[in-house]
Amino acid sequence: MISEKIILGIDPGTTIMGFGIISIKKSKMEMISIHELILKKYPNHETKLKYIFDKTLALIDEFHPDEVALEAPFYGKNVQSMLKLGRAQGVAMAASLYRNIPITEYSPKKIKMAITGNGNASKEQVAGMLQNLLNLKDFPTKYLDASDGLAVAVCHHFNSGSTAETKSYSGWESFLKQNPDRLK
């Protein structure tokens, strides 16, 4: 029986990427850490992707999560933005799979619904509810992208055992079996 589970939540982004790490002991949830990776200072998309991969590996190596949860990119009007977000998510997924950490994706609506009960909640509402759920006096970051990463981790905890509207992969073989269209 597992006495503690650590979950790394990631909100992929190409300007700011948010990470939140929680610990579950018995059924008590506690925030371990919250981070953001500021990427707007880097000169090109390829450099940003390298830093996303490196930071994800560094967080995995430091905190040893049992599972990684990611926010799935949402469809917007700008196809180029969607493509860049998908690449950011893919690099974070690759880093997790490289360390053999199982990953699960959640849609933005599912995350907001799990945290606030409202799939259309604002980022501020999500951060406020996280502050309440985790008994935080002050929210430890000014970046809502970081709180979104934390929200993904909490959503994953709340949805443990549920597979509705999520995709889980335990490694590259699992990913390829569930996504044969991505194999060329």
Does 145 count as an annotated binding residue?
yes
pLDDT, position 27: 80
Does 4 count as an annotated binding residue?
no
Q: Could you list the active site residues?
A: 11, 71, 145
CATH topology of domain 4-182: Nucleotidyltransferase; domain 5 (3.30.420)
DSSP state of 72: P
**Residue 108, Cα to own-chain centre: how many angstroms?**
11
Q: Give the whole-number percent of the chain exceeding pLDDT 90.
A: 67
pTM of the model: 0.85
Name 18's bridge partners. Answer: 11, 36
pLDDT digits (tens, 9 = 90+) for 131-141: 999 999 887 77
Does 11 count as an annotated binding residue?
yes
| Spatial contact of 109 and 75, defined as CB atoms under 8 Å apart | no
Q: What are phi and psi of 43, to 5 degrees?
A: -70, -25
